[in-house]
Chains A and B, each alone.
Chain A
Amino acid sequence: MDYITTMGLEVHTELSTKTKIFCSCSTEFGGEPNTHVCEVCSGMPGTLPVLNEQVVEYAIRVGLATNCEITRYNKFDRKNYFYPDLPKAYQVSQLYLPICRNGHIDIEVGGKKKSIRIHEIHMEEDAGKLIHDPWDDTTLVDFNRCGVPLLEIVSEPDFETGEEVIAYLTKLKAILQYTGVSDCKMEQGSLRADVNLSVRPSTTTELGTRTEMKNINSFKAIARAIEGERKRQIEVLEEGGRVIQETRRWDDNKGASFAMRSKENAQDYRYFPEPDLVPVEISEKWIERVRKEMPELPDAKKARYLAEYGLPEYDVDIITGSKYLVEIFETALDACHEAKEVSNWIMGEVLRMATETKTEVEDIQFDFANLGKLILLVKKNIINRPTAKEVFEKMFTDNVDPEQYVKENGLEMLQDDNLVREVVVRVLADNPKSIAEWKEGNEKVTRFLMGQCMKQLKGKANPGTVNDVIAEELAKM
């Protein structure tokens, strides 16, 4: 039987505000346990929250970037539950009046466009982290993350394939990065996704029972989790069983999901309005200002790159999919005005070096304007391409200035045509066998001769010139 998969996504993103949502502690990742903590974020008795307005500003940005309606009169609610990583025993969140509603993000999979609806986006605080020490069987709590601002972005159940989910997450990640609200480092937990998934026979229209898979933290793992859970549910149904509504944990190493808790005896969070915070009113003026300050978003940027620079769509998708690649592209472009070249360098050498050195795109460190300078060096025939690649590696690893580096290491191409001709004549004289073969019609020997010449010229000649001179000299034979 054919089955249709239906999925909805809940994405949590940690905002990159300097301070926490309700106190002035730093949100910086890492740090010794419990060093970014005060009486407020550790929930000590008598303390009160004071809202960081930057969080509201960021939420408005994301709301506008995802075509949402912005709630003018906002309130916070308490979500009550006991857990040692939650020192107040309630999480301040938004249930009744979330800040953004009814938006959408447009994706494209295999040339097919689709709009994924956003149900809501709400603001809330992160919890702390439990560290279990199996050696002496104790659990320690680190409150550094406690009170870091989060946005929860809840989609409608509009996904049918894992590819759609990944396309959506890629686009959402780009939006969050472009708007500067989050660095979206999945490995640090600043972007986490919960997948709600159900399957149903294609012959019915009624949705099946869904399960929720929590906190899967890489795109690849999400794709595997979706495939695994889809198969599991279909197997359950095929065997005549019933899917249980529950939360499941995806174990990426084992390639299987495990039941965490059943939703059928669901926890009652006893939500009620947070009395310690006053309502936040968002004025038209505020929204308009945020709208005006909004940077160019991924879709607009893609359209512009295609129209203005005539780049291949595939390359544009990759580059505009990451704020960091865009930054490299635009900075280098400013320095050389060679869009096509910059794009080729990013798609080629930049990504190759990143993979080779196991560097995340956001951690690429070199001065991006140098890439533009390097491109100009090639364009002006000061260095040739093989040299340029060598210089780039140095730029990537040691952030050298290409102009200076070329000069200091004497990598400029020879501009002396007489010297080239001298070398070519000598090489031809030294290789009568090759000339004989050439005369018999073996064109390939020119490549060998070329190599010999370049070797003698220490690779510094313009290969075009060398090629031309070889052709000229051979013609004389």
Chain B
Amino acid sequence: MDEMKWTALEAGRRIRAHEIGVEELTKACLDEIKKTNDTYHSFITICEQEAMAQAKKVQKGIDDGTLTSPLAGVPMAVKDNMCTKGIETTCASKILTGFRPFYSSTAVHRLEEAGAVILGKLNMDEFAMGSTSETSFYGPVVNPWGEQRSPGGSSGGSAAAVAAQQVFYTLGSDTGGSIRQPASFCGVTGLKPTYGAVSRYGLIAYASSLDQIGPVGKNVEDIAEVLHIISGHDPKDSTSVDAPAIKTVLTGDIQGMRIGIPKEYFGEGLQKDVKDRVLEAAKKLEELGAVVEEFSMPEIDYAIPTYYIIACAEASSNLSRFDGVKYGYAPTEYKDLTDLYYKARSQGFGMEVKRRIMIGAFVLSSGYYDAYYKKALQVKAVIKQSFDRAFEKFDCILSPTAPTTALRLGESLSDPLKMYLGDIYTVSVNLAGLPSLVVPCGFDCEGLPVGLQLTGKAFSESTLLNAGYAYQQATQYHKITPFAAGKEA
């Protein structure tokens, strides 16, 4: 359908110009989702009733002038690890079956206040643990660029729903690359904001010190607008920084912008097509006025073990509350309390989640804490310093997002280590708490999208978005859809 091709801002403009009603557009999206969800499995929950009620309310707000956001009335969807009042929130896990929070996450709440129409909850790796969206209890998400392909993860549903034109934008979350790698694999634009820029309140934690909510959309303009709505201090989250919402004026002028290319990011293991596309993008930015220079960042070697120790340690504690006592899945028969815990958690969690809980419990246990967790915190500090040094010289760092394009479904599930290694270019950004933007920058020889990653210093989202905007003004990759490319699944 034609309206599904609109960008979010264009949809918003047409709504405000009364070219289309919010309910009409919402209905169109819901029809599209219902028609295509069997193909992509991008949605776990479709909340038609709530969406139609909100659409009606928002239309009224727009008509009487109380809702003025450029995104008012635009249908969207939310990764299923963000609490939505009254709507089942599962984290794609059996253990949260039937859990309906009586509160909404701050990001969701702010969007709703601005007039967003939430159509449903997006599929993901269970508890955001995974890089392929295959660990979901609800089955794997399929990449719209190819029925055999994974959309990446963990925010696979968030990226696939945008690529498949089911919604105009989505929210994802990024703990070690979970927004950026799926954006790269699905040919969409995604931003992992600075740690503390967007409230984590209501985001069901995987690794609290690394998790960050961010937008996924069709282009930089759309996600800049979403960021403006969801960012800014939240008194309910002590780790949210006391700063106003991030408002970006996109000029497209990147004259003199200093861009660093860490040479270690282009070494062994990087797919040639990906390397070529990313370096071509660097050239394009240079043509647009940026000053591009290679530099060295050897600390990348330590990023993956450091990330997995910290993330798993926090996860083992964060996921302890899922014990079958108060909500979610509980076994019907058990002998005693220990048996209830044992059965609820053995039956309620999937393989990858259990693996990470085990790793986390191990690295925190007495006698191992110093060797693993404490050491990981020290390396985290070293990695952060290395970024700090780089940003003395550069405004942003350009790199690939992932070593490859979209993996085949099932390819890495049997080999978790291989899956972990795929996070090599993304995890250090979370360890350092930095913002990072992914924009599409071309295709590999099989026609699968490649994503360019731009990482900046803390709270330099506007700089990154402006660079991405300049790039998208000069290129067409973000406009190419799997359907236009003849890749319909």
User: Interface with B: A78-86, A165-173, A360-368, A440-448, which one?
Assistant: A78-86
Contacts A47-B202, A270-B364 given; does A278 touch B239 at CB 8 Å: yes
Residues of B within 8 A of A48 (CB): 200-201, 236-239
Contact A46 B208 (CB under 8 A): no
Contact B321 A89 (CB under 8 A): yes
Interface residue total, chain B, C-beta cutoff 8 A: 44
User: Interface with A: B34-42, B67-75, B310-318, which one?
Assistant: B310-318
Q: Is A272 interfacial (CB 8 A cutoff)?
A: yes
Residues of B within 8 A of A82 (CB): 320, 323, 341
Residues of A within 8 A of B101 (CB): 39, 44-46
B197-212 Cβ-contact flags toward A at 8 Å (1 or 0)? 0001111110111000
Contact B326 A87 (CB under 8 A): yes
Contact A84 B337 (CB under 8 A): yes
Distance in angstroms between the alpha carbons of A275 and B239 in the assembled complex? 8
Distance in angstroms between the alpha carbons of A275 and B364 in the assembled complex? 14
Write the chain A residue with the least CB distance to B377.
A273
Q: Is A297 interfacial (CB 8 A cutoff)?
A: no
Distance in angstroms between the alpha carbons of A194 and B414 in the assembled complex? 50
Contacts A45-B83, A46-B203, A47-B202 given; does A90 touch B320 at CB 8 Å: yes
**B-side binding surface: helix, strand, loop or mixed?**
loop
Contacts A46-B82, A46-B202 given; does A275 touch B96 at CB 8 Å: no
User: Interface with A: B164-172, B249-257, B347-355, B365-373, which one?
Assistant: B365-373
Q: Is A108 interfacial (CB 8 A cutoff)?
A: no
Interface residue total, chain A, C-beta cutoff 8 A: 28
Distance in angstroms between the alpha carbons of A141 and B325 in the assembled complex? 10
Q: Is A251 interfacial (CB 8 A cutoff)?
A: no
Contact A45 B239 (CB under 8 A): no
Contact A276 B201 (CB under 8 A): no
Q: Is A88 interfacial (CB 8 A cutoff)?
A: yes
Contact B320 A47 (CB under 8 A): no
Q: Is A277 interfacial (CB 8 A cutoff)?
A: yes
Q: How far is the CB of A463 from chain B (nearest CB, A)?
A: 69
Contact A272 B369 (CB under 8 A): yes
For A80, give its contact among B89, B239, B320, B341 (CB under 8 Å): B320
Q: Interface centre among A51, A82, A141, A270, by most B CB within 10 Å?
A: A270
Q: Using a CB-CB cutoff of 8 Å, which residues 182-222 of chain B contact chain A?
A: 200-205, 207-209
Q: Is A264 interfacial (CB 8 A cutoff)?
A: no
Write the chain B residue with the least CB distance to A139.
B337
Q: Is A49 interfacial (CB 8 A cutoff)?
A: yes
Q: Is A50 interfacial (CB 8 A cutoff)?
A: yes
Q: Is A43 interfacial (CB 8 A cutoff)?
A: yes
Q: Is B99 interfacial (CB 8 A cutoff)?
A: yes
Residues of B within 8 A of A308 (CB): none
Q: How far is the CB of A132 from chain B (nearest CB, A)?
A: 12
Distance in angstroms between the alpha carbons of A141 and B238 in the assembled complex? 28
Distance in angstroms between the alpha carbons of A17 and B323 in the assembled complex? 31
Q: Using a CB-CB cutoff of 8 Å, which residues 440-474 of chain A contact chain B?
A: none
For B89, give its contact among A43, A45, A47, A88 (CB under 8 Å): A45
Q: How far is the CB of B317 from chain A (nearest CB, A)?
A: 5
25 contacts between A and B (CB under 8 A): A42-B326, A45-B83, A46-B81, A46-B101, A46-B103, A46-B105, A48-B200, A48-B236, A48-B238, A50-B235, A50-B237, A80-B317, A82-B323, A84-B323, A84-B325, A89-B317, A141-B325, A270-B361, A270-B366, A272-B369, A272-B373, A275-B207, A275-B208, A276-B205, A276-B208
- 5 closest A-B pairs by CB: A89-B320, A275-B208, A275-B209, A270-B364, A46-B202
**Interface, chain A (partner B; CB < 8 A):** 39, 42-51, 78, 80, 82, 84, 87-90, 141, 268, 270-272, 275-278
